Structure 1
Amino acid sequence: MTTENNTSITPEEKERLLQIHDSAKPFWLTPTIQLGPLLPTDKDALIRNLNDKRVISYLIGPPYPYTPKDADEWIGARYERMNQKTGTVLHLSFRDMARGGLLIGAIGMTQGSDELLDGDDTGYWLDPAYHGQGLMSKALQWILLEIGIKQGGKRKFNSHAFMGNWASRRTMEKAGFVYQPDLKKEYVKDGETIHAWRFRFYLTEEDVVNLQVIEEAKPDPTLL
């Protein structure tokens, strides 16, 4: 996920942005799981996860097989997936701090225009070993509120899930997305046409006032 940033930047400015990106304060989803910035040390975990067919089967974006070059390019361009004016990181990594901060997933948010509702405003993936723990549901609600609504001022969101991906559908609906049966979307993946459910999430200013804060977990003291 990218922002509408000026990509013609000097090496010095790029390094400055990378330092801001990499030092972003993490959010504790649980006593052992953090949301934080993508780091160069995540390369091996990124390659492993994005070569797992259980992960990529419902993703349209990453190349497969996912190579070390792909990982280097994604990690190297991480400063582009932030709001360069505010320093807000828009693409966050799930980390298992009980396993040394191991990368186990990712979630991203755009801060672009509300009006077109053409592309997706959010996307995510998670290591299957961590499914069923409510991690993605809490992360999606948090990123919508803190990055999309509060910091980005967004009031309209657009997203999709491949038909049959009921877990993702439930996650989005729990976060406030509403299935749009009249909207059709198709993707081509591995030479096959994939049909997708479309979802939208609209908020009024009254809705925003009444939104509940997503509470941060207290980290396990043994990890500090």
Structure 2
Amino acid sequence: MATTEIVPCTTDKPSSSLEPPPSSIIPIRPYKVAEDIFLSPFTSSDTTELHRILNITNAISLGLYTASVTFPFPLENAEAFISHQLAKRSARGFADCWAIRRGEGLESPVIGLLSLHAFDHEKEGVPACYRVPPPLSGRSGSDGDNKLPLRCGVLGYWLSPEYTGQGIMTQAVYYGLRQIARSALGYEHVHGRAWEDNVASCRVMERAGMRQVPSVARFVPKFGEIKSSAQYVLDV
């Protein structure tokens, strides 16, 4: 099961003032990944299918970082996730989380998720990423005080167990990294991570061209144990 982190779901629904009517959602065109694979915004009509997929097996819950994607996955959590996506997209005017669909229209059932959220280095306890400009003419070495912080994103994804083994997730991740991360969201560097024992998820990132960097061990409350997390990066 190829899964990695997604934006945490919460049972705290946005207030009604933050939950916009469908007509106020800023239209965002679907991205065509392949002949029959599209990335498009989540809509309120995705709630039932999202709930169904996350209750097929516990594979997605086991593969994700976030503790809020549980198994079983309550309907109220699916409703909260969709409400959060609608409110965030309306307030910000762009999407950084998309439903994977087998069809261009928003009525096509969701089969997975791809996200490219901004990466918060401080919150994650990870040193900021920098780009060091070339030395000025006539000087040797680089000016350490002149290094520039990179705008970083973090990759997240999951796919319904009904569609694994078809290369869909690899295609979606590759497309997101090459066609969306830089041009649409302005990222220069993208982080990705998966539990080391989630071999399928690690292979997705490797096939999409990400390179592995040293792993990180962390205590995971929902598992009650320390797990090793494989870390990947890509300059985009």
TM-score, structure 1 normalization: 0.72
- Report SS of the residue matched to 1:149: coil
Paired amino acid for 2:94? T
Q: Which runs of 4+ in 1 moved over 6 A?
A: 114-117
Paired residues of 2:63 and 2:198 also in contact (CA < 8 A): yes
Q: How far did 1:108 drift?
A: 0.6
Q: Does 1:91 align with 2:87?
A: no
Of 67-76 and 51-60, deviating more is 51-60
Secondary structure at the aligned position of 2:63 is classed as coil
Contact 1:90 1:147 in 2 (8 A): no
Q: Specify the structure having the higher radius of gyration (Cα).
A: 2
The 1-side partners of 2:172 and 2:88 are apart by 17
1:74 is aligned to 2:81: yes
Query: How far 1:103 sits from its partner (Å)?
Result: 1.3
Structure 1 counterpart of 2:232: 199
Residue from 58, 65, 72 that aligns with 2:63: 58
CA distance in 2, matches of 1:18, 1:186: 43
Q: Kindly state the Cα deviation for residue 109 of structure 1 after the two structures are TM-superposed.
A: 0.7
Hey, what does 1:133 align to over in structure 2? 166
Q: Which residue of structure 2 lines up, in the alignment, with residue 106 of structure 1?
A: 113
CA contact (8 A) 1:148 1:154 kept: yes
Tell me the distance in 2 between the aligned counterparts of 1:118 and 1:18: 39
Do the aligned residues in 2 keep the contact of 1:18 with 1:78 (CA within 8 Å)? no
How far, CA to CA, are the matches of 2:75 and 2:16 in structure 1? Answer: 25
Distance 2:224 2:216 in 1: 23
Contact 1:37–1:93 (8 Å) recurs in 2: yes
Q: How does 1:108-123 map to 2 (within 5 A)?
A: 108-112=115-119, 118=125, 121-123=154-156
1:125 counterpart SS class: strand
Q: Residue 98 of structure 1: CA displacement? A: 9.7
Instruction: State the shift of 1:75 in Å.
Output: 0.9
Aligned to 1:124: 157
Match of 1:167 among 196, 200, 208: 200
Deviation at 1:123, TM superposition (A): 0.8
Q: Does 1:144 align with 2:151?
A: no
RMSD, matched Cα: 3.2
How many aligned positions are there?
Answer: 195
Identity of aligned residues (%): 24
Q: Residue type matched to 2:33 in 1? A: L
Residue 32 (1) aligns with residue 36 (2) = yes
Q: Which runs of 5+ in 2 are unaligned?
A: 1-6, 9-13, 127-152
* Contact residue 114 and residue 156 of structure 1 kept, 8 A: no
Instruction: Tell me if structure 1 keeps the 8 A contact 2:61–2:70.
Output: no
Shift of 1:192: 3.5
One-letter amino acid of the counterpart of residue 103, structure 1? V
Which one-letter code corresponds to 1:56 in the other structure?
Answer: S
Paired residue for 1:20?
25
TM-score by length of 2: 0.69
Unaligned runs of 5+ in 1: 3-7, 209-224
CA contact under 8 A between 1:121 and 1:157: conserved in structure 2? yes
